[in-house]
Structure 1
Amino acid sequence: MTSRALRRRTVTPPAFPYDDRDLDRFRELQQLAYRCAQRVGAWLGPGVTERQAAARLRHELAAEGVRDYFHIPFAWFGDRTAFRDFRTPLQFFAGNRRLAEGMPYILDCAPVVDGYTADIGYAGRIGENEVWDRIAADLREYRELILAEVRARRPLADIYASVDALTARHGYDNRHKVYPGRVIGHQVTRTTARGPAGVTLFGFGVRTLQTLGRELVGERLRGRSPLWADGRASRHAPTPGLWAVEPHIGLGDVGLKFEELLVVTEDDAYWLDDDLPHVRRWRPEPE
C-alpha cells in the first residue's frame, strides 16, 4: 500500500464543534429569521416590489436586534423565483418586479447575532397557484432524502446527484444549480472575525467574507469544502458541523425552496428544528 493510500485510510473527520448551548442559540436565531419572513409574507400583496419586500424584511430583522448578516435579505417574485434567465450575480439582488395575483415569492435572509448565523428561505404565493401547491407538497421528499443520505455518510456530490434524480422523477428542474458555485448548501459556523458589523460587500457581510475565506482555504487543505455542490471539491462525506441546505426546485415560471440548518455529527445527522413553516405545512390537519 502506498503512503498516499494509507493517509487516505487514516483520515478522520473533525469533531463536532458545538455544544447544546450553541445549538440552542442557532435554533433561536433560525426561529427569529422565520418569524420575520412570515411577518413580511403576511404583509405582501399585489403591487409590492421585490425591493420593498427586501427592505421590509431588513426592517423586521433590525427590530429583533439583528445588526449583521451572512448575506443581505433577498426577495424574488414570479418567474424570478425560478431564476429564469439569470446570467450574472447582480440578478439575485431584489429588483422592481411587482407582485400580482397568483405569483409565487421567496424571501431569503441570513442574520448574524453574537456570531451565530441562520440562513433561511421562506416561500409563499399570492392567491392560488396549483403548480406552487404541487411543488410545496413534494419538497417534503427532498428533506427526507437529504437527511437519509447524510446519515448514510454518502459523499456530498453523490447526495446532490440523488436530489437531481428525484427532481427528474418529479418532472421538475434543479434551480440551485444557478446559485454561484451551483451550491445546494454551505457550512455555517460561529463567526469570530473582527470586522465592522453590518457592513456588506457584494451582498455579504464583511465578517462573513473574512470567516468564509479562512474556511475555504482551511477546508481545501484538508481535502474538503465548506460549499456543497456537485463537483470534485464535494466528493467527500459530510463534514461534522452545521450546514444551511436549500434544495431549490422549479417548474416553468414557479420556483420553490426551503432553507434550514442541518446538524451533522461524527456519526449522525438531524435537522436542527422541526417546528418550521414548511414542516408544519406537511403535517396532517387535525380531525
Structure 2
Amino acid sequence: MATPLTDAPAGTTGAGIDGYRAVQRLAYDCAEAVAAELRPGTTEREAAAMMRRWLTDRGVRDWLHLPFAWFGDRTAFTGFKVPLQFFPTNLRLTEGMPFILDAAPVHNGYTADIGYASSLGPNPVVDRLLDDLATHRAFIVEAVRAGRTLRQIYLDVDALMARQGYENRHRAYPFGVIAHRVGKVADARLRPHAFGFGQNALRGLLKDGIRGHREGWSPLWNPRKSSGHPATPGLWAVEPHLGFRGVGAKFEELLVVTEDGDAYWLDDDLPHVHRWADRGLYGAELTGTGAGFPAPAGTAADLSAVTEEAAA
C-alpha cells in the first residue's frame, strides 16, 4: 500500500486541510482580481506579473510554479511542442479573446495550483466549454471514489471529451498529466526557482516520485502504465482541459483522497462552481453524487453552430 503524505487527511478533516483551503482561495481570489483588471492590449507577461505581484503583496514567498497567462489560441496550446512555449508572451488581449490564468503559490508551507478560464467580454464558445467542464468535475470525483485506476479515469475523461466534441489539451502538459500530487513545503531561507518552477516544492514532488517508483505508484496522473493504480491518499491538483478550434478552457483545483479511499473536492466556494450554480448546472448529477458515466452536455455540431452564430 502506498505511503500517504505526512499530512494527508485521514478523513473529511485532517491536519493542515484548512491551510490548503486557504491558499487555494487566495490563488482564486488573485485570479478573479487580475481578470477584472485585464483590458484590450494587456499582454500575457503583464497579466502574469500582475498575479505574481498580487500574491507577493499578500505574503506569498514561494511557488510550485510562477503564474502563467495564456491568451487566444494559446488557451488551447495550439502548436505547443516544447515546454518554453508555456511561458507568458507579448501576445495582447483583444475583445472577446479567451484567456486562462494559472497560479501555484505556496503560503505558510501549503501549496495550491489553480486555473481560471474566461474571456475578455462575451465569448459563447468559452461559455460552452466552461459549462461542459461541470460534467468532468462530477465524473472525476465519482470515479476516484469507485476505486478506478488513475490511468483508466484519464482514458474515460478522454472518451467523455470526445463524446462532447472536444480535444484533450492537458495531454500537451509535461508528461501529459491531468493531475499531480501536492504537499507541504518546508519553510526555507532560500526559495529558488528555475525555469518558472519553485525548487523547494519540486523537491517534494521528486521525493514522491522516488518513493512511488519503489512502491508501485506515481505522483503524476497520466495515461502511462505508472498510473495504473487507484489514487493514493493525499491532495491532487486536477486540471481537465478542453479544446475546441483554438479555444481552450479548464479549471484546476485540489481533490482530497482519504486513506479509506473516499474522495472529495477540497472546496466548493470557487468561481467555476458558483458559475455553474448561477447557470442551473449545479445539481445532484454534477456534484459527484450521481452514478455512472455522465451524459455530455453538448456535441461538436451544437458548438459549431454557436461558433458560426458568433462569427456572423
Q: Is 1:207 matched up with 2:190? A: no
Q: Is 1:126 matched up with 2:115? A: no
- CA 250–120 in structure 1, closer or farther in 2 if over 3 Å, else same: same
Q: Which runs of 5+ in 1 are unaligned?
A: 1-11
Matches of 1:105 and 1:274 in 2, distance apart?
22
Matches of 1:71 and 1:15 in 2, distance apart?
23
Deviation at 1:206, TM superposition (A): 1.3
Deviation at 1:214, TM superposition (A): 1.3
Matches of 2:265 and 2:235 in 1, distance apart?
9
Matches of 1:123 and 1:265 in 2, distance apart?
29
- Are the equivalent residues in 2 in contact too, given 1:70–1:112 (CA < 8 A)? yes
Q: Is 1:283 matched up with 2:277? A: yes
Alignment of 1:14-93 (within 5 A): 14-15=3-4, 17-18=8-9, 20-93=14-87
Q: Is 1:265 matched up with 2:258? A: yes
1:33 corresponds to which letter in structure 2?
A
Structural RMSD (CA):
1.4
Q: Which segment drifts farther, 201-210 or 72-81? A: 201-210
Q: Which segment drifts farther, 66-75 or 20-29? A: 20-29
Matches of 1:14 and 1:207 in 2, distance apart?
21
Three-state SS of the structure 1 residue aligned to 2:78 is: coil
Superposed CA offset, 1:28-51 (max 9, x none): 110000001100000001100000
Three-state SS of the structure 1 residue aligned to 2:70 is: strand
TM-score by length of 1: 0.92
Q: Which runs of 5+ in 2 are unaligned?
A: 281-312
Three-state SS of the structure 2 residue aligned to 1:148 is: helix
Matches of 2:202 and 2:263 in 1, distance apart?
27
1:160: which partner in 2? Answer: 154
Q: Is 1:230 matched up with 2:251? A: no
Matches of 1:159 and 1:133 in 2, distance apart?
25
2:283: which partner in 1? Answer: none
- Are the equivalent residues in 2 in contact too, given 1:193–1:210 (CA < 8 A)? no
Give the % identical residues.
54
- CA 263–231 in structure 1, closer or farther in 2 if over 3 Å, else same: same
Deviation at 1:196, TM superposition (A): 1.5
- Are the equivalent residues in 2 in contact too, given 1:51–1:94 (CA < 8 A)? yes
Q: Which segment drifts farther, 206-215 or 175-184? A: 206-215
Matches of 1:258 and 1:285 in 2, distance apart?
17
Give the counterpart of 1:245 among 227, 233, 238.
238
Matches of 2:279 and 2:157 in 1, distance apart?
28
2:285: which partner in 1? Answer: none
1:175: which partner in 2? Answer: 169
Deviation at 1:247, TM superposition (A): 0.2
Matches of 1:211 and 1:188 in 2, distance apart?
8
Matches of 1:53 and 1:221 in 2, distance apart?
41
Superposed CA offset, 1:65-95 (max 9, x none): 1011000000000000000000110000000
- Are the equivalent residues in 1 in contact too, given 2:2–2:217 (CA < 8 A)? no
